[in-house]
Amino acid sequence: MGGFGGAGWPYRSGGWRVRRLLLVGWDAIGWAIALTLALALRYEFDLDARDVSGIVQLIAVAVVAQVLIGVALQVYRGRHCIGSVDNIVDTSAAIALSGFVVFVANVVSVAEWIPRSVAIIGTPIMLLIAVGSRIGVGLYRDRRSRPDHSTAQRVIIFGAGVEGQQLSWSMFTDPDARYLPVAFLDDDPRRRALRVSGVGVQGTSADVAEVAARSQADLLAITGHHVDDVAIREITRVAADAGLEVKVVAPLAELLKPVPAALLIPSQAGSAGGGGRAVTRLPAAVESRAKRVVDITLSLIALIVFLPAFVVIPLVLMLTSGEVVYRAKRVGLGGEIFTMFKFTTMAPGDGGPRLTRAGDPRITRFGRWLRVTKLNELPQLVNVVKGEMSLVGPRPEDPRYAAYYSAEQRKVLAVRPGLASLAFLRFGDEEAYIERINPPDIETYYLNELLPEKLAIELRYVRNWTLRGDFRILARTLTGLLR
């Protein structure tokens, strides 16, 4: 999605400082609206007899946190177009973290300013305000700056459902103006009168030739998960007779993100039905982008849901071990080293092997409970939001052990490491598994036996992963943890 960036809104033009201040000011107003509305909802809009003076302090904390975190995450630096996925990710992360700060500040203050539920209610409201307004600004700018389609390929889109509508919008906003939707076709009688961005449904699959001649189309794009291979072959045959090129958009990530028109490129799929041109399927890059959108969305929701845990666990750790967050170097996407976060579960300053087993004496009593419940992994939601990890993927490995990967095993680094993994479903709690095996030398056993087995499973995931499969892995992981 386009928006304010590059030619749209050059932050570093003469007025970039003013525009940055406008964004900061808008977010400050958003927090004021969100927390005030949350307070009203908390008291069912009966505020007359309530002491609500503390809301001012809460808003002040929210604004200061938003500015500081926003600066740290470069939300106001103009790195990404306003309304783009990257901009929405940065903004959402800043708001989620600011909401967490507001909640903690209200909890630890000497006198509770306002009911604690206000921060929990207000954060999603602020997300709606900030994200919604940015998307709106991006859409407005896109509409004003639609490219010139005078030399574009004229496209008939078969399928006027969500997927077809998303594809149409993507074509209209493609900065290179390669495609221009001129008509929709759909066999669903409920969509006969539908119009999308001024383009109407002009017939069914039986009308391909007639509509192609009338609209002077060059290309037929087939969308929709309901279109089977037999129907595709028949439509392709008719379209080829009408002189149309045929491209098939695989029904995958369009429901989550507009399909970039640039991804509609010829492949080696071959022709279907004889005389037609190549039938194209959407590259896996779109599903990867959809996976990222799912990661961000679910992680932000989880951060809000687990806000109480993010308050209680650090307090207990500060009172017991003193150290709250354990930072571990791990190997991520493409072999890049990143810092993975966990809640501390071991006694501070204790050396020893990097691998642990269930009965390791270095693990504290509270840390053992955190490990059993896997709550020590919660801070990795921040890694997911930052783009260093995914919700599902091969577990990130210590660089010391990743150095032993073979060329084949290094292929697991082709995807982001995950919170949940296929190997976890096979081995369960790794520490308990090692404890049951009880090898004389943990590291030798891990390097020579357990790690190769894990990597074989993770490689199978890398080769065959799908978004639907990720949801299944998440569901099975959560089910296993709750047993």
DSSP state of 393: S
Q: What string of DSSP letters covers 190-221? A: GGTT-EETTEEB---GGGHHHHHHHHT--EEE
pLDDT in tens, the chain (483 residues): 333 333 333 334 445 677 788 889 999 999 999 998 888 888 777 766 566 677 888 899 999 999 999 888 888 877 677 877 677 878 888 899 999 988 888 888 755 667 888 888 899 999 999 988 888 887 777 666 656 667 888 999 998 877 787 788 778 767 677 888 999 999 888 888 888 777 889 999 899 999 999 999 999 998 865 677 788 888 888 998 889 988 887 553 333 333 344 433 333 333 434 444 444 434 455 567 778 888 888 888 888 888 888 888 888 888 887 778 888 899 998 888 999 999 988 877 655 556 666 566 788 888 888 888 889 999 999 899 888 999 999 999 998 888 888 889 999 999 999 999 988 887 777 777 777 777 778 788 888 888 888 999 999 999 888 888 888 888 888 877 776
Domains and CATH numbers, the chain: 16-144 (no CATH), 153-282 (3.40.50.720), 292-482 (no CATH)
Q: What string of DSSP letters covers 277-344? A: -BPP---HHHHHHHHHHHHHHHHHHHHHHTHHHHHHHHHHHHHHTS--EEEEEEE-GGG-EEEEEEE-
The amino acid sitting at 472 is R
Instruction: Give the per-residue pLDDT at 434.
Output: 74
Question: What is the number of alpha carbons within 13 Å of residue 45 lying toward its C-beta?
Answer: 0
